[in-house]
Chains A and B, each alone.
Chain A
Amino acid sequence: MPAVQETIDQVRKIDVDQYKYGFETEIEMDKAPKGLNEDIIRLISAKKDEPEWMLEWRLGAFRRWMTLEEPKWARVQYPEIDFQDIHYYAAPKSTPGPTSLDEVDPELLRTYEKLGIPLREQEILAGVQKPAASELEEANDNVYKSGRVAVDAVFDSVSVVTTFKKELAQAGVIFCSISEAIREHPELVKKYLGSVVPTTDNYYATLNSAVFTDGSFVFVPKGVRCPMELSTYFRINEKGTGQFERTLIIAEEGSYVSYLEGCTAPQRDENQLHAAVVELIALDDAEIKYSTVQNWYPGDAEGKGGIYNFVTKRGDCRGDRSKISWTQVETGSAITWKYPSCILRGDDSQGEFYSIAVSNGYQQIDSGTKMIHLGKNTTSRVISKGIAAGFSQNTYRGQISAHRKATNARNFTNCDSLLIGDQCGAHTVPYIEAKNSTAQFEHEATTSKISEDQKFYVMQRGIPEEEAIALIVNGFVKDVIQELPMEFAVEAQKLIGISLEGSVG
């Protein structure tokens, strides 16, 4: 593909684009024809060997979707998406259910290796790439003790491999692709799928319900503390495809699970669509920690190409004393439209949202959270750090609401924005709604730039400007980085540095 290569070369030359995951994997693909209609949905359902009820569920969502209009309220601008010009199903040809790593196309494995995903258990046991600094030694120790990660890798439309399955099964934890769950655990899927994000929820969630192709399924039974971190790695590879994954995590009474999600895509000069739905359900005393490092291809320096990321993520603290915590590091995507939310239904339940959103080039981010306080004595905490550079637009949009019966609802929100350069914009749009006199809401937001004093202080110690900025920015986002699991914290810090390169001068 000379055209693509040319773009890449051009970008390299001007040394702005630092997207290091921009390679493409050459694998024979099994693709559905472009376009969306009931036949395509039947095809997806058949490919996945799904039961009849699942097909009906999809078709119901599709019919609903046909009646909906694309939402326009977000602060993002993009040309009309042609939903008929997308492949809704693409799978690497060699993957009718691999049972072990040896059966997986070695080309695929190499892709993941390039991405640095610890697919092979022994690699994981070796821990994270050893950070040079000694300050991390102690932290590393912890990683060695607890830091094994089970990975579900999703390539375009299909989950290609899930690791550590056996060990997880011993603990009673189910961790598999959602397609497998639909086949193997239909009663669980039937009970919980769509119970947090109904098929009628919003335009993109409804579309996802109709055409989702894969994703992860996690079930942690009563009283079980999941023995390792669970992780999914998503990658869009095939040209002209959309990725629609669906993740469903259920934590039964008194259980705990920590889940990580990472995303990348190759560099292309066209826009690709990603519309995921994530549903979390926490029953009494359960806790779910969900972390995302989103690094989809953001487009080149002229704003060409990149992923359109329209994601619906919602957690339901259904049980009393349950807790759901979202942590996200958003550095990629041309457009991000994403509001991980918590419905605090159970009494004494807790919701948390920690976010870093970095935009550079022509990226547009409209992201934030919703904390819906329904139960008594519910608390929520929102920390959002937005960093805008280049020509990007970075918006925090959030909603905090306490309903009539939510006595003693408590929220603390802090959203800070940092501007680097005078061509970008940072915006804050919080909605705060109290219908209960015992509610206590605090919200604060600031916008500023890196002060010359701060920069001078760092630079006079011999640190070049770009590094100085990265250092200050990392200080700015520290509160959120601390919430990430160790493996991701290191990656996230590097990623922020990379994303901001070229933003100075």
Chain B
Amino acid sequence: MNMHAIPQRTSAETALIDAFGERLSLLPGDGEIMVRRDEAIERLKAGLPTKRVESWHYTDLRRLLTAVPQYDGSAKAEVLSPILEGSAVLPVLNGVAATNKLPTLDGVTIQPLAEKLADGSFAAAALDLYGNDDAVGALNTAFVADGYFVDIAAGTELATPLELQNVQAGGQTHVRFPVRIGKGARVTVLERQAGEGTALASSVSQLLVGDDAEVLWLIEQEQADTATHLAQFKASLGKNAKLTLFVMNTGGKLVRQEIIVDAAGEGSVFTLRGVNLLAGDTHTDVTMVLDHSVPHTTSTEVVRYVITDKAQGVFQGRINVAQKAQKTDAKMACNTLLLSDDGEFSVKPELEIFADDVQCGHGATVTEINHDHLFYLMARGVDEKTARGLLVKAFVAEVIEELEDEALVDALEARIETWFATHG
């Protein structure tokens, strides 16, 4: 996003700027919200980030985003059956909240975001961008049209999971899910990103996790292999809050999933687990920035990739430990199985540490399937293809099985099976 370095707009940049002109009158919200939208489009006018922008080093968005599809108001998406039976589904169909199908739950206030943006009750500051290189945030802030605002009252314990369903049917969609989780609440939220057709989807989930709350948040991204999916997950944790984020990427042509978490309350615990199954000619980037801002916070991250065909995988994980954040305990691991010679994987695990009394570490490995393990299985009469399949599945199952919810583990393992059936 450097004004000087960008001599000429790409067709994608031009298309985005033109789309803003066309959409402007239809976008909900005015006043402060409009100011934010204008600022955001100015950022995009300065150019999409290239690999020279450090946080986009391995995902040169300017080069990779070659085409931007038009809005397609006529395209229709259908509500999908939920990942877990019995979940309360909040559907967004092709960018529009489907309000006729909303569930009612005790202690949970749900409002379509379009309404909230329009009636002026949405705090515009929530649309502020993150730093100078927040292209995903800028795109979403400029165009966001709908989504859900979810407010979970203090002490609420949801028996059934909430499923935020964002289903594309082609064209552009820009949605946002601001979620406030009250003190001591316990919830499971499944964020489902799916769809068909050539789509450009931006989606931002932003959480405020109250003191002592416990949240399991699962992002399941299963877009079509023609879709560009630019997503952001932002969360701020209160005192002794626990957030477990589980990210599973199995689709999309160009995917950037940003995770921006601030462990802002003492005693808060953040856990990230990720499974990325990449195939075809696709590019998937998971970028995490985790701030430990106060003393006594804990985090662990385990992210795994399986890469086949010509797929490119990227993981960037930065842990910032502020000067006063003594007693931070932060550990991050990224493991990758690179299964094809045309596949690529790049990883940048960063530590930025300003406090001394901390325990921080990261590990990263890139390798192919262990030959000893393969031999062990084949010596027992398992053919090579099956043996490889078993080992790769075991590699990701290790992460999935950490989820304590058995039904959820089964549901995800079924999805992994499906992926392997097509790509294995």
Contact = CB atoms under 8 A, between A and B. Distances in A.
Interface in B32-86: 54, 57-58
B346 to A, nearest CB: 4
B422 to A, nearest CB: 20
B356 A441 contact: no
Contacts of B6: none
B348 A444 contact: no
A431 interface: yes
B351 A426 contact: yes
B128 interface: no
A440 B367 contact: yes
Residue from A417, A433, A438 having most chain B Cβ neighbours under 10 A? A433
Given A437-B340, A448-B359, A429 B350 contact: yes
Nearest to A443: B364
Given A422-B326, A427-B350, A448 B338 contact: no
Interface in B346-360: 346-360
A448 B366 contact: no
A448 B358 contact: yes
B316 to A, nearest CB: 10
A422 B366 contact: no
A442 B364 CA distance: 6
Contact of B357 (A422, A426, A432, A446): A422
Contacts of A423: 323
A73 interface: yes
Contacts of B368: 437-438, 440
A439 interface: yes
A440 B357 CA distance: 33
A193 B347 CA distance: 34
A433 B360 CA distance: 23
Contacts of B120: none
B349 A430 contact: yes
A426 B360 CA distance: 11
B338 A432 contact: no
Interface residues of B, number: 36
Interface in A261-305: none
A245 to B, nearest CB: 31
A447 B360 contact: yes
A383 to B, nearest CB: 15
A439 B357 contact: no
Contacts of B347: 430-433, 443
Chain A interface secondary structure, helix, strand, loop or mixed?
Answer: strand
Chain B interface secondary structure, helix, strand, loop or mixed?
Answer: strand
B364 A437 contact: no
A432 B364 contact: yes
B345 interface: yes
Interface string B302-325: 000000000000000000000100
A339 to B, nearest CB: 15
Contact of B367 (A420, A424, A441, A447): A441
B360 A446 contact: yes
A440 B360 CA distance: 24
Contacts of A446: 359-361
A258 to B, nearest CB: 32
Contacts of B351: 417, 426-428, 445, 447
Contact of A427 (B323, B352, B358): B352
Interface string A441-462: 1111111110000000000000
Contact of B356 (A404, A421, A428): A421
A441 B367 CA distance: 6
Contact of B345 (A419, A421, A433): A433
Given A422-B356, A425-B353, A427-B350, A437 B361 contact: no
A140 interface: no
A435 interface: yes
A493 interface: no
A202 interface: no
A116 B33 CA distance: 69
Contact of B366 (A425, A432, A444): A432
A437 B365 contact: no
B344 A434 contact: yes
A436 interface: yes
Contacts of B349: 428, 430, 443, 445
Contacts of A445: 349, 351, 361-363
Top 10 closest pairs, chain A to chain B, by CB: A419-B356, A446-B361, A443-B364, A428-B351, A441-B366, A447-B360, A434-B366, A444-B363, A433-B346, A449-B356
17 contacts: A417-B351, A417-B353, A419-B353, A427-B351, A427-B353, A430-B349, A430-B364, A432-B364, A433-B58, A437-B340, A439-B338, A439-B366, A440-B366, A442-B364, A442-B367, A444-B361, A445-B363
Interface of A: 73, 404, 417, 419-449
Interface of B: 54, 57-58, 323, 326, 336, 338-341, 343-368
